[in-house]
Amino acid sequence: MTDDGKVLDPAIADLVRALAALLDEVNLNEIEYAEGARRVRVARTGTATSVTVAAPPVAAAPQAHNPIAAEPAGTLKAPMVGTVYLSASPDAAPYIKIGDPVREGQTLLIVEAMKVMNHIAAPRSGRVTAILVADGMPVEFDQPLLVLE
């Protein structure tokens, strides 16, 4: 049964069992498997195991392009899942502030993933017009981090 009370089909139930066994085998707390539009996430919290199954999405009606909802052209997105840090250490000054000019290759922030500090560099020269994350905030892959003008 999933978190929302739905009964799993036998093939998915077998996949969930295999993923749960893999969690124990490699001592993980969470694992996600995706094939096409189907996603299965198995997570362990304390002694319980949580299962989330996302069915393939139903095709939505086409929508008109809304330029206001679009991201700005200079949006820098997270290259990975992790925790973002705006400075090299808690007591250090932030790498950038809104309005700062930056040069290509300059470190803008850090994304920590699996205890590895990944310095995220400016893809081009420009000026920071918005910082869309806070220090210590968890980020998802492709999440907007900041905007360069």
Q: What tokens does 97 get?
A: 């502030």
> What type of residue is 17?
R
Label the pairing between strands 126-131 and 107-113: unpaired
pLDDT tens column, 12-47:
777 778 877 777 777 777 777 777 677 777 777 665
| Contact of 110 with 119, CB cutoff 8 Å | yes
CA distance 118 to 142: 15
Label the pairing between strands 48-54 and 75-77: unpaired
pLDDT tens column, 38-94:
777 777 766 555 555 555 555 554 544 444 445 677 899 999 999 999 999 999 999
Domains and CATH numbers, the chain: 10-54 (no CATH), 75-148 (2.40.50.100)
Q: How far is CA 19 from the centre of its chain?
A: 21
